[in-house]
Structure 1
Amino acid sequence: MTAILTTRSTPLILAGMAVERYISICFPLHYTQMCNIPRTLLLICVIFILTVTPPITDLLITIVKEPPSFFHTKIFCDHSLLFRDQSIYYKNCVFDGTYLSFVALTLLYTYCKIMLTAQAVSTSLVSVKRARNTVLLHGVQLLLCMLAFVVPSLQAALISLFPQLGLEIRYIFFLLVYIIPRFLSPMIYGFRDEQFRKYWTRYLSCHEHSMTLLRLASQKMNPQVK
């Protein structure tokens, strides 16, 4: 459930961050009035409501349409097996398509406006370049998020072809869709930060130096070790 909620909320968070960058570049004088704490909390509440709506409606439809005996059966914990009604599938397709299209259009609009602002003001402006790169990264993250909505069909097809490898296929897709994108995002944003890069480089250099000293010490204690 946590993975589903975070997967559905990530595109909306990306859209909110892109709009924030757009306001800071295109409307810098109104930034403090438009991007304040109350509006941020309101945005978080809206994202939370939009995120929990599909799972809650899935559960309600299942409770209404499935017989009571269904809730006493043992099945594999998979969304397609638990929520079997076709109306749930079509509902999620419409919902996901609508709000992913909204997020994609938001990112495209903010990126184009930031690009136009960069050309009008100065292409060497650091803040404009940073905002432009941030929105571009959001687009890459959105593509990674969209894998979560494409993979189920591919996963079902592969499982039908190789039923004996069902668990392995689910595990691989879980890594590709839920783990790797969430690992890449903080790393990308971290390396864009100067302080993080400085301490990370220092840590790597210290670690390499300590490993070299340890290797030399082991060679002195045991001359046969090379």
Structure 2
Amino acid sequence: MAIERYIAICKPLHHHQICTVRRTYILMSLIWGVGVIPGLADLILLSIVRPLSIFSTASSCGASILYSSPYHEVQSRFMNGLYSSVVWVILVFTYCRVLIAARRATTDKSSAKKAQNTILLHGAQLLLCMLSYITAVIDKMFVPLAPVDRARLTFLNYLLTNILPRLLTPLIYGVRDKHFYKHMKALFSCRLFFVKVESIKQ
């Protein structure tokens, strides 16, 4: 998303040439492939350092329980550090360039301010989505304090760090749309809309 916005704003003449449907599918496949690597690495390490009977053993389903070997800890730190570093570099680079381009693109201060606010809002939304990187850290901090409520704490943590940020994204952008905001305001104020349909006489 950040790279697409960077191309659309900083290289608008090349946007249609770079951001094609075919390249979008290729990029999506690449993202899925890169996202699968940590899980596959965990399974491979698990099958090497543990007996195969672990796959048929009844135990609590948790990454900290299944992947508890020192190799998994090193691999997890390396992958999380690598992925988060790459994402942060991309975010900082693209949004700094986009902010600079937005300031230079117009002499109207109000339009420039609005463009900057939109870009900052988009950046804040992406940063919220990056809360998923600290899900495991929060689990390690709070779950030992109340092991009886482990399932509830894990679910609440996942809800706050993974689901809620992605839920806020369409709401934030929807509220900025005038028509959507009008309907949302009417919905939350419990108003009813009656649409009058007139037949067209032929």
Q: What band does the TM-score fall into relative to the shorter chain?
A: 0.7 to 0.9
Paired amino acid for 1:109 = F
Contact map agreement 1:19 1:106 (CA 8 A) in 2: yes
Give the corresponding residue for 2:18. Answer: 34
Question: Within the alignment, does 1:56 sit opposite 2:40 as a pair?
Answer: yes
Q: Which has the higher contact order (CA 8 A, sep 6+)?
A: 1
Contact map agreement 1:159 1:166 (CA 8 A) in 2: yes
| Partner SS state of residue 76, structure 1 | coil
Provide structure 1 residue ranges, at least 5 long, that are not aligned to the other structure.
1-16, 211-226
| Partner SS state of residue 77, structure 1 | coil
- Give the paired residue count: 193
Deviations 1:34-85 (A, max 9, x none): 1111111111111111111111221122122211222222111111112222
Question: Within the alignment, does 1:208 sit opposite 2:191 as a pair?
Answer: yes
TM-score by length of 1: 0.73
Contact map agreement 1:61 1:88 (CA 8 A) in 2: yes
Instruction: Choose which of 135, 141, 146 in structure 2 pairs with 1:151.
Output: 135
Deviations 1:122-147 (A, max 9, x none): 15389866664454234323433333
Contact map agreement 2:84 2:133 (CA 8 A) in 1: no
Contact map agreement 2:186 2:192 (CA 8 A) in 1: no
Map 1:37-186; keep pairs closer than 5 Å.
Answer: 37-122=21-106, 124=108, 132-186=116-170
Provide structure 2 residue ranges, at least 5 long, that are not aligned to the other structure.
194-202
Give the corresponding residue for 1:217. Answer: none
Contact map agreement 2:9 2:98 (CA 8 A) in 1: yes
Deviations 1:156-177 (A, max 9, x none): 2323233233233223212212
TM-score by length of 2: 0.81
When the two chains are superposed, the root-mean-square deviation of aligned CA atoms in Å is 2.6
Q: Which structure dedicates a bigger proportion of its chain to helix?
A: 1
Instruction: Choose which of 198, 210, 219 in structure 1 pairs with 2:182.
Output: 198
My pick for the range that moved more, 87-96 or 47-56, is 87-96
Aligned identity (percent) is 37
My pick for the range that moved more, 76-85 or 132-141, is 132-141
Distance 1:120 1:142, change over 3 A: closer
